[in-house]
Amino acid sequence: MVRRLILVLGDQLSHDLSALRAGDPARDLVVMAEVTEEGIYVRHHPKKIALILSAMRHFADELRAAGWEVAYPRLDDPQAARSITGELLRRAGAHGATEVIATQPGEWRLIAALDAAPLRVTQLPDDRFLSSPEAFNAWAEGRRELRMEYFYREMRRKTGLMMEGDKPAGGKWNYDHDNRKPAPRDLLRAGPLRFAPDTITEEVLDLVAARFAGHFGCLRPFWFAVTAAEARRAFDHFATHLLPGFGDYQDAMLTGDRFVHHSVISMYLNIGLLHPGDICARVVTEWQAGRVPINAAEGYVRQVIGWREYLRGIYFREGPGYVRRNALGHRRALPAVFWGGETRMNCVAQTVGQTREEAYAHHIQRLMVTGNFALLAGVDPAQVHEWYLAVYADAFEWVEAPNVIGMSQVADGGIVASKPYVSSGNYIAKMSDYCGACAYSVTQKTGEGACPFNLLYWDFLHRHRDRFGRNPRMGPVYRTWDRMAADRRETVLRDAAQVLARLDSGAVV
Ligand code: DLZ
Ligand code: SF4
């Protein structure tokens, strides 16, 4: 019987993967491949590459133990091809196979590469989700606006999570209103569970250090989980120690505590070590047992069954061109500060510094510090997108692109975000302890020492008045702007232009 190849990608490390379900261990050959191209098509953070390669090696061992034959070239194998499709062709030649069974990749680039390969490739749906692109399209059909909140309600009904009959548990669908507390500095939080590298991981770390030395980011200390069993322990630790405060403090940012109450498991979820249904069930159990308040449980479940699934629906609905959208016509090059260049803005320095060390920042750091700054400064959204895709361990295009192009940079023309998520320094001052140690003054609105967010905020709104001026949710801010004295408005715009000129000239901002 002619052998078939079963492709398993680095973010498809689930034993119930559709391609594995369709295969037969007695007949088929699993192909996994460490390839240079996947590490460099954007220059991924070394920690992210190490996570994926180590988790792939552990997963290949688990597959072998389960009876599969696995072809697995390592990155330093001189025979190995440089790309996924190159490796499939090489294996097909060696084994006389013409047929490949794959699970559809989470990125149009690879979907197209598999389509174009001179082999018979079947791309099965990736069903490790609670919804599907087809179900999303059916929901979206005929709607004028694709609001996450309504999709989320449908997902609550569909999954039955936190429902009492056809009503949401506790009477409200969304408890976000309770979730905006700044975190007290003196709380001693457990932080995410850390794992010491085993010998497999140590080998990978040496390899990544040698091969991707020039990439932005610290490789060590490396403490991520690399197997499903470890990832489950990491989630368990979160559910026990941190979930109770997750709701209250989910938007808080603290210098001395990078993870606050976040679970830091998105990277495990997105490479297949955890399943969204399992983690939601656990969260609901904690809430039902009275160990976790409803605002924490609902907030967490919403991120997983609402936000995450909604963004995936948007990515596949909008098609391959989505990552090049630029509705606001932003053209500025990504400033050097994103790659660790010097800055006087403490919030940006903290967020980028943490990103460099951890390959992780939480959602408000990503949305309201770096994302906010890039949007206010008018940075080319494609460059912003590539940055996020490269530097975060959990970033895969299906989830990262709608978050960045849609939610953060409103470059999709308002499909994901009904208004731009922009703020002056005031929001950052309220939600963090960054401003106290900053060279700028957050209360200063104009002049040299003024917080750049204060200046760029008004400059952005002024520049894009045609687009946002008629948005009812933006009405109050435009009225505030209009009430300012004309000479003050002029000063703000002049000072903002100076900040932008400094950015363009490479001067420290
Ligand atoms: C991100 C990544 C990296 C760095 N390396 C590999 C690899 O060597 N082999 C592999 O199969 N997958 C890798 N990946 C994950 C892929 O880039 C990912 O499957 C696609 O971007 C689709 O989400
Ligand atoms: Fe950031 Fe402005 Fe606060 Fe400085 S003053 S930390 S630049 S928000």
Question: Does residue 322 sit within a domain?
Answer: no
Does 462 lie in the same domain as 395? Answer: yes
Choose which residue among 337, 432, 442 to substitute to test ligand 2 binding: the one with the highest number of ligand atoms within 8 A of its C-beta. 442
Residue 272 CB less than 6 A away from ligand 1: no
21 with 151, same domain: the answer is no
Q: How much is the mean pLDDT over the chain?
A: 96
What's the CATH code of the domain at 345? 1.10.579.10
Rounded to the nearest angstrom, the distance between the alpha carbon of 83 and the centre of ligand 1 is: 10
The closest ligand to the CA of 445 turns out to be 2
Q: At what angle do helices 133-140 and 309-318 cross, to 10 degrees?
A: 80
Q: Residue 157 to residues 161, 170, 277, 300, 325: CA-CA distances in angstroms?
A: 7, 15, 14, 16, 33
End of a domain among 73, 96, 124? Answer: 124
Residue 55 CB less than 6 A away from ligand 1: no
> Is the pLDDT reported for residue 241 higher than 80?
yes
Number of domain units in the chain: 3
**Which candidate, 283, 274, 277, places its Cα nearest to that of 231?**
274
Together in a domain, 143 and 280: yes
Q: Residue 2 pLDDT > 90, yes or no?
A: no
Position 179 pLDDT exceeds 70: no
Verify that 70 and 206 share a domain, yes or no: no
Residue 176's pLDDT band, with cuts at 50, 70 and 90, is confident
The pLDDT score that the predictor gives to residue 250 is: 80
- Return the H-helix or E-strand segment holding 318: helix 309-318
Percent of the chain surpassing pLDDT 70: 99
pLDDT at 299: 94
Least-confidence region, from 148-152, 231-235, 259-263, 359-363: 259-263
- 326 in a domain, yes or no? no
Query: Residue 265: its pLDDT value, please?
Result: 97
- 93: domain CATH number is 3.40.50.620
Same-domain check for residues 253 and 164 = yes
356: three-class secondary structure by DSSP: helix
Please count the residues of the chain.
509
Q: What is the mean pLDDT of residues 320-337?
A: 98
Q: Of 54, 52, 49, 46, which Cα lies nearest the Cα of 356?
A: 46
Strand, coil or helix: what is 277?
helix
Residue nearest ligand 1's atom 4 by CA: 39
Amino acid letter, residue 181: K
Q: What is the 3-state secondary structure (H, E, C) of 213-254?
A: CCCCCCCCCCCCCCCHHHHHHHHHHHHHHCHHHHCCCCCCEE
Whether 455 is in the pocket of ligand 2, judged by its Cβ within 6 Å, is: no
**58 and 92 housed in the same domain:** yes
**pTM, entire model:** 0.97
Q: Is residue 313 part of a domain?
A: no
The CATH number of whichever domain residue 293 belongs to comes to: 1.25.40.80
Is 398 part of a structural domain of the chain? Answer: yes
Asked if 35 and 85 sit in the same domain, the reply is yes
Task: Give the per-residue pLDDT at 67.
Answer: 97
Amino acid 247: pLDDT = 80
pLDDT tens-digit series, residues 89-141: 999 999 999 999 999 999 999 999 999 999 999 999 999 999 999 999 999 99
In which element (H, E) is residue 463 found?
helix 452-463
Last residue of a domain, one of 124, 143, 159: 124
Same domain, 150 and 298: yes
pLDDT of residue 210: 97
Query: For residue 391, which of 343, 348, 358, 342 has the smallest C-alpha distance?
Result: 358
Same domain flag for 119 and 140: no
- pLDDT for the residue numbered 262: 92
User: What integer pLDDT is reported at residue 156 of this predicted model?
Assistant: 98
φ, ψ of residue 492 to 5 degrees: the values are -60, -50
Tell the residue nearest (CA) to atom 2 of ligand 2.
451
Query: What's the token pair of residue 359?
Result: 């390959």
pLDDT tens column, 183-222:
776 667 889 999 999 999 999 999 999 999 999 999 999 9
**Residue 477, Cβ neighbours under 10 Å: how many?**
18
163 falls within a domain:
yes
- Residue 280, pLDDT score: 98
Pick from 30-34, 190-194, 351-355: least confident: 190-194
- Final residue of a structural domain among 95, 124, 153: 124
**44 in ligand 1 pocket by Cβ < 6 Å?**
yes
Does the beta carbon of 39 lie inside 6 Å of ligand 1? yes
**What is the rounded end-to-end Cα distance, in angstroms, of the chain?**
65
Residues 28 and 100 in one domain: yes
Percent of the chain at pLDDT > 90 equals: 93
406 lines ligand 1 (CB under 6 A): no
Its domain, for residue 78, covers 5-124
State whether 141 and 91 are in the same domain. no
Same domain, 449 and 486: yes
Stretch 397-408: mean pLDDT, rounded?
A: 98
Establish if 480 belongs to a structural domain: yes
- The alpha helices in 96-198, defined as continuous H runs, are 108-116, 133-140, 148-159
Both tokens of 450, joined, read 């003024």
Is residue 447 in some structural domain?
Answer: yes
* pLDDT tens column, 247-259: 888 888 989 889 9
The predicted structure's pLDDT at residue 182 = 76
- Average pLDDT estimate for 456-461: 98
pLDDT of 189 reads 81
Q: How confident is the model at residue 150 (pLDDT cuts 50, 70, 90)?
A: very high
Give 34-74 pLDDT, tens digit per residue. 999 999 999 999 999 999 999 999 999 999 999 999 999 99
Query: Is the residue at 297 inside a domain?
Result: yes
pLDDT at residue 86 in the model: 97
Best CA proximity match to 343, nearest among 369, 382, 364: 369
